[in-house]
Chains A and B, each alone.
Chain A
Amino acid sequence: MRKYILLRAFYSLITLWLLVTIIFGMVRLTGDPIQMKGEVGADTVYLEELKKRWGLDRAFHQQYVGFIGNLLRGDFGHSFEKSLPVRDIYFERLPNSLKLGFAAFVISIVLGVPLGMLSAVKINSWWDNAGKMVALLGLSMPGFFVGMVLIIIFGVELRWLPVLGKGRSAFVGSDPSTWVAFWFRDWSHLVMPAFALGWYFSGAMLRITRSGMLDVLGSDYIKLVRLKGVPERMVVAKHALKNSMIPVLTFAGLNLLIMVNVAVVIEVIFNWPGVGQLLYDGLSNRDFPMVQGVVLMSGLMIVVLNFTIDVLYGYVDPRIRLSR
């Protein structure tokens, strides 16, 4: 087991290093951050100074070594706009994104999993067709469109829900009293953005649940249980449910992190102050270090999660542990 974990950790490190290298390389090959920062006709002295400040005047390999060195020290660069380390700004915003991500995650599971189950159990029935339609619409309607429609209906026409911001509750790291209260306050602000974000993923959850359930229902041990005369309801609820949940939960865990990271457009529409909005601010202010920092953080989070999932799988399933 230890060998397996070490091997997975080694692979994760390689992935992380490659990811960092790709980001470094792509950014320098496809464009010039300086050109993006300076408008047309900007002062050349100013541009030179910018270049020096970001270390872009040095040789390519020196830049690379410096970049990796900074990352290893936990330095994700300095925001140009806010004159603060990207890391500090990021962690201040992260709780908001996590809150939105969790709510969307719950919505995607509540919408996706039961309907996926029903579709699989009553395959080719009316339920199955309804499930297929929901999944298709979920994957085809962009979240920001859903968000706008929600704003029109519940925010503007009915005036039931607030359309902007996250409410007054804030997560303050130094104040423990906010730690719990933060998660349970201002739900009215959360409903629409969470639904708009969770919508897309509920379609994906539905499909995963359905195919996972179908796999399990077709397996030999379920056939045996049926042969023994166990009622169908018990077959599904007791024997099939647990095993079919393994891929669903893995996928859900990955989805949660992806939701935290790709909520950019939703956060912009609802003015939700999460990390996605940092990305947007970075884009509109031409604050390249900010953009790069947020992207690096999301890459890091996902690599760590993938590693965790691999290790958990190794514990659960000896076949995986011993395969390599």
Chain B
Amino acid sequence: MATIPVRATPIGGVSRVARRGYRIVADVPSIPLSMLAILAFVAIFAPVIAPHGKLMPVKPTPEQCQAKFGMANCPYIDNVPPFWATGGTVETPLGTDFLGRDVLSRLMYGARISLVVALTGTLFAGVIGTLLGVLAGYLGKWWDQVIMRVTDAWLTLPSLVFAILLSSVRGPGLWNVVLILALVFWSRYSRAVRGEVLALRERDFVKLAEINGIGKLTIIFHHLVPNVMNTVMVLFSLQVGVAVIIEASLSFLGVGVPPPEPSWGLMMAQERDSLMDGKWWLAVFPGIGITMLVLSANMLGDWLRVRLDPQLRNR
């Protein structure tokens, strides 16, 4: 007698979902994400959590003025060491710079500049590069030749050298740096995206779309662009780190974000002389900020690369 098998009750239920969720969470790289989260939090809420302003010197108490200058009143006290060194106060935990401004507050506002400039610059570069790469790969023929030759020529110059050339005619300015980053970095995307599209173009879903008479524009934006997003995201996260370093370098050379804005690179440049007097903290703290940001972006990028490219998973 044939029995109708009773459908097995699903094993786990809620716990299975939980286990799966846990596996996803456990796989996420917690170190870079938490570092990025802290930096982003500091950047967004800088005006709220910063103990002092970014541009105005910290107002010293009469006792401090008395101790340093022998007067009851002084506008500011410069080069106060961090709180653990002798002469440091908890009022300014990381000390003050050459104009008596609070280093910690300026670092917090500096995170803002680094993040905004690097993210928007890389984003613009990504949009331009992805579109050109898709065009070159999909339309082929002359489009491909022209776009790829230009891309190759563009890739020849080291990015820092190219950025310096552009900044020499653009001058300092926050949005100038964004523009320069976009102009320098798009070629990295178009190169990689074109390769992807060349393979995608031969796939069945693109062929079928073509047979169905779907327009080229729709194919590009509906079928090709979503499929190259993995590559673009990996490149994006890896490029953000480079962009942060380029922004810091340009600011260091005096053609990036202009003073008195607290860009990390600029802060390091301004304290080059005090380095020799043994006031190491002024140059080291912004450097640590840059390293933290770039390190977490790079770690995230590496993780994404391995995650999205199964061939690399065991590498």
Contacts and interface: CB of A to CB of B under 8 A. Distances in A.
Interface of A: 14-16, 18-19, 22-23, 26-27, 30-33, 35-36, 136-137, 139-142, 144-145, 148-149, 151-152, 155-157, 163, 211, 214, 258, 261-262, 264-265, 268-269, 279-280, 282-284, 286, 288, 291-292, 294-295, 298-299, 302-303, 306
A22 B154 contact: yes
Given A19-B157, A22-B153, A136-B302, 12 more contacts: A15-B152, A15-B156, A18-B152, A22-B150, A23-B165, A30-B170, A139-B298, A156-B280, A264-B249, A280-B253, A295-B161, A295-B162
A139 B161 contact: no
Contact of A283 (B168, B283, B290, B299): B168
Given A36-B168, A140-B291, A148-B284, A258 B183 contact: no
Given A26-B183, A265-B249, A151 B275 contact: yes
B158 A261 contact: yes
Contacts of B149: 14-15, 18
Given A151-B275, A288-B168, A298 B161 contact: yes
Interface in B254-306: 254-255, 268, 272, 275-276, 278, 280, 283-284, 287, 290-291, 294-295, 298-299, 302
B157 A299 contact: yes
B107 interface: no
B248 interface: yes
A276 to B, nearest CB: 9
Contacts of A155: 276
A19 B150 CA distance: 8
Contact of B241 (A15, A140, A283, A306): A140
Contacts of A268: 252-253
Contacts of A214: 315
Contacts of B299: 136
A262 B250 CA distance: 12
B156 A291 contact: no
B153 to A, nearest CB: 4
Kindly name the residue among A145, A282, A303 whose own CB sees the greatest number of chain B CB atoms within 10 A. A145
Contacts of A306: 156
Nearest to B280: A152
Contacts of A284: 254
A283 B254 contact: yes
B179 interface: yes
Nearest to B150: A18
B74 interface: no
B160 interface: yes
B205 to A, nearest CB: 30
Contacts of A30: 166, 169-170, 179, 183
Interface string B141-177: 0000000011011101110111011111111000000
Contacts of B160: 262, 264
A184 B156 CA distance: 32
B248 A142 contact: yes
Given A139-B298, A163-B276, A298-B158, A264 B165 contact: no
Contacts of A261: 158, 161
A145 B268 contact: yes
A118 to B, nearest CB: 16
Kindly name the residue among A18, A303, A306 whose own CB sees the greatest number of chain B CB atoms within 10 A. A18
B289 to A, nearest CB: 10
Contacts of B249: 142, 144, 264-265
B245 interface: yes
